[in-house]
Chain A
Amino acid sequence: MLVLVVVFALWEAAVVFFKIPVYLLPAPSAIWTETIQIGGTVASHTLATLNTVMLGFLASVVISLPLAVLLTSSRAMANALYPLLVLTQSIPKVALAPLLVVVLGANELPRVVVTFLVAFFPLVLSTAAGLIAVPPELIELGKACKASRLQELLRIRMPYAIPFIFSGLKAAIALSVVGAVVAEFVNADRGLGYFIITATAFFKVPAAWGALIILSLMGIVLFQAVVMIERILFPWAAGDDKPTL
């Protein structure tokens, strides 16, 4: 928090001292006044983006967890799925987005899909890593207690993977914000990404900066929310002595 205050103070001072023109880099005070002036508009764009971020993030969670289970279920499955997963990551999302609009229509759906595609990969990888990392002794304990494969998954592998899953969730929530904005650049009539494009087109530079700052804050707040959820639901995983992440 203190760091942020210092950064903004230095920024303000630099703009005034070096007389930087407002279309290059507006001072925080200018950003503030302009953004507040159109507060209502900015708020509705923020909500639109937040909506896309959350839907894309939820899709990542709902799809990634079962996908990770499939990936770790057998070598054949892993061999079949990994190339596909890597493919989804090597496609540039900005290039894919317009095509998705053609296929899925100019609505919320392609934005959510792009957000999902940007966000889900680290979640799959870290969940799969957690499911595999279970110490053989714990698997042996399950076997000795006559655990079925499902019981082994739900009562041993999944709980063991919780810290891994949460580090994936933290990456996914941060990437969801990135994904939503990418999607809005390409296809949207609302949202902070769309707002930045139109604002810069009309040289409303301070307002565009305002939107950028709101996006960063949104990223930070959502990330902290995931951290809090982990602390509250799984205190043993968050362990106070360990650094989070």
Chain B
Amino acid sequence: MTIVIDDVAKVFDAGDEDVVAINGVSLAIAKHEFVALVGPSGCGKSTLLRLVVGLVKPSRGRVAIDGAPVVDPRADTGIVFQAPTLLPWATILDNVLFPMKLMGRMDARALKQARALLRLTGLEGFEKRYPRELSGGMQQRAGICRALVHDPEILLMDEPFGALDALTREEMTLELLRIWSERPKTILFVTHSIPEAVILADRVVVMSPRPGRIAEIVDVPLPRPRSFAQEADPVFQDRTQHIRTLIFGRDRLAA
């Protein structure tokens, strides 16, 4: 499915003064494309994701999926929030199945899918545990399972690997790429890690703050399937370096 973001602005009414979270953002994401979103804290990455999900409405411009304006959350969209956001009273398995229950799609297949995802993310054996019994990284992985359980066409991920240790992070990166190649999806992936963005994405959208807007869209012409060996590739090095300059400025990098 294609996502079109057309000249979108989002202004939050925060008490005395308005906060312009993003302004004049335009972006088209092709069907089954993998797009990463990087930028300094507060530049509106999460806001942009919420707009695509339909959790917030644009103040100006429009967001459309396959030509239809997004007014409400859609059943074919999955989101991984920046925080794990698990229900403290539900077991890990029930948390993962939560979207299915709410959408009235609970059946044996859903259960099988949930268990398979938990196994995939290394949470096998924790199905009956409660979120507070899991580490932050494990909770975040449960949140990823939940976003994938209904096999969404569009996957929106807000720093999904932020709470993971470096090893699990690389493992999950490869796992995500594998899931994406097996069951193609359109993915918009927010991250603070520039190497992660480059190794994952077809294109990296670099945002700049106050107000949040797109500084540049960087193509990543690395062949697929990707692996961490490609970090040695001149293309990888060139692109990460270029994105760093965009975010931090040439002067600060030289200093």
Contact = CB atoms under 8 A, between A and B. Distances in A.
Contacts of B81: 137, 140-141
Interface of A: 137-138, 140-147, 151, 155-156, 159-160, 162, 234, 236-237
Contacts of B98: 141, 145, 155
A142 B55 contact: no
Contact of A147 (B55, B74, B102, B130): B102
A142 B99 CA distance: 8
Contact of A145 (B73, B83, B89, B132): B73
Interface residues of B, number: 23
B73 A162 contact: no
22 contacts: A137-B83, A137-B85, A138-B87, A140-B50, A141-B81, A141-B85, A143-B73, A144-B53, A144-B55, A144-B77, A145-B98, A145-B103, A146-B75, A146-B103, A147-B102, A151-B102, A159-B89, A159-B90, A160-B89, A236-B88, A236-B130, A236-B132
A144 B73 contact: yes
B210 interface: no
B72 interface: yes
A163 B53 CA distance: 31
Contacts, number: 50
B242 interface: no
A236 B86 CA distance: 13
B119 interface: no
Interface string B75-109: 10101010101011110000000110111000000
Interface of B: 50, 53, 55, 72-75, 77, 79, 81, 83, 85, 87-90, 98-99, 101-103, 130, 132
A144 B74 CA distance: 8
Nearest to A239: B132
A155 B89 contact: no
A236 B89 contact: yes
B102 A237 contact: no
Contacts of A234: 89
Nearest to A137: B85
Q: Which 8 A-B pairs have the closest CB atoms?
A: A145-B102, A145-B99, A137-B85, A159-B89, A144-B73, A147-B102, A236-B89, A144-B79
